[in-house]
Copies of this chain bind each other. A is one copy, B any other.
Amino acid sequence: MPRSSSKRVTLEEVARVAGVSRATASRVVNGVTTVDETIRAAVRRAIEDTGYVPNPAARALVTRRADAVALVLPEESRLLGDPFFGQVVRGVMTVLGPSGVHLVLMTMDANTRDQVLGDLRRGRLDGVVLIHTDRADPLPRLLIEERHPVVVSSRPVVPLPVTYVDVDQPAGGALAARHLASLRRNRIVTIAGPQHTTAGQDRLIGFRDALGDPDLPWVEGDFTRESGAVGMAQLLRAHPGLDAVFAASDLMAQGALAVLRESGRSVPADVAVVGFDDSSAALACDPPLTTVRQPVEDMAAEMARLLLRQVDDPDTPVTASVFPPTLVHRGSA
């Protein structure tokens, strides 16, 4: 039973109680296997008796490990409170928790870049997971240059030797395409995501290729509801006879749905609609949205795993981990 000692117990005291050197006590604490069994037992008991807990600062000073990594989310307003964010945090935590590594939460604002770099340089952070970094953000490149462990949440637009985790975006587009084709729709259009993002590009490519229609009508949105509405209106004007639309995000699908309703078309009878993300918006839609789902929590866990691996071995080669999307069948298509 640990003594409720008011004084802080150090390894020194454990060594004294166990009748060994501080070095040996340290070895037992750190699970070095070469220590004699009897001695090990004595040290164990001493630890129990004294209620010893190692001082992480002292340890970090020599090991140069903080046992803490940062999770950097876009900007305050955007993701916090979004269920997507909750899934990311949960996924990361499932792998960090057991390892005792601290999850330090940050949002990307003016000083976050400096703080992250500073914390990494001074060894206050071992690595960082970057969620949805803007393509113009210099942070990933800076981190790579300084050789800090980092994992990003999607394939970078500009080629960069960085480890990332992503959903198979083209496959997601293809999933939507095949579903609409199976419904015998043949006047299909799409509201694509921003073409300066890989998600935007790849979902469009995958969708178009699976359809085998190089002339597929499409407009570009920016993933927001508003852009979905605008895009839908445009498409309706140019192709009044359309009978199916794939929106590269649930929010855009939601915007499209509203415009379709205003135009007097019913979903899915007149027009089938498929979204992307399986966000909370998908369920809020009327009818609920058929959509392409990415396994966010699993992906986040994988990001944490890949990061920890880099922390353990800085020479771990850069890798990409790509997850298969699935189609969630609901009322809209």
Per-position binary interface string of chain A over residues 67-105, scored 1 when its CB falls under 8 Å from any chain B CB and 0 otherwise? 010010000100111111111011001000100101111
Cross-interface CB contact of A76 among B53, B56, B61, B90, cutoff 8 Å: B90
Q: Using Cβ atoms and an 8 Å threshold, which residues of chain B touch A111?
A: 97
A118 contacts the other chain (CB 8 A): yes
Partner of A55, one of B97, B106, B122: B122
A107: nearest residue on chain B (CB-CB)?
B93
A106 CB to closest chain B CB (Å) equals 8
B68 near A123 with CB under 8 A, answer: no
Task: List B contacts of A123 (CB < 8 A).
Answer: 55-57
Q: Does A115 contact B (CB under 8 A)?
A: yes
State whether the Cβ of A124 lies closer than 8 Å to any Cβ in chain B: yes
Say whether A284 faces chain B, with CB atoms less than 8 Å apart.
Answer: yes
Residues in chain B near residue A107, CB distance under 8 A = 90, 93
In the complex, chain B residues whose CB is within 8 Å of the CB of A76: 90, 93
How many copies of the shown chain assemble into the complex? Answer: 2
Determine if A121 is an interface residue (Cβ-Cβ < 8 Å). Answer: yes
Interface residues in A257-299 by Cβ distance below 8 A to B read 280, 284
A35 interfacial contact with B, CB 8 Å: no
A75 to chain B, nearest CB (A): 11
Complex-state Cα separation, A202 to B284, whole angstroms: 33
Cβ-neighbour of A82 out of B79, B86, B105 (below 8 A): B86
Which one of B53, B58, B284 lies within 8 Å of A121 (CB-CB)? B53
Q: A102-B104, A104-B104 are in contact. Are A53 and B86 (CB under 8 A)?
A: no
Collect the chain B residues with CB atoms within 8 Å of residue A118's CB. 53
Known: A81-B83, A86-B85. A122 touches B61 (CB 8 A): no
Q: Cα distance A104–B56 when bound, in Å?
A: 16
Does residue A314 face the partner (Cβ distance < 8 Å to B)?
A: no
- Is A241 close to B, CB under 8 A? no
Contact with B along A27-38 (1 / 0, CB 8 A): 000000000000
Contact of A86 among B54, B81, B93, B106 (CB under 8 A): B81
Instruction: List, in ascending order, chain B residues with CB within 8 A of A53's CB.
Output: 118, 121-122
Shortest distance from the beta carbon of A200 to any chain B beta carbon, whole Å: 25
Question: What are 9 residue pairs bridging A and B, where the CB atoms are less than 8 Å apart in the complex?
Answer: A53-B121, A56-B122, A61-B61, A81-B86, A81-B87, A82-B86, A89-B105, A97-B111, A102-B104
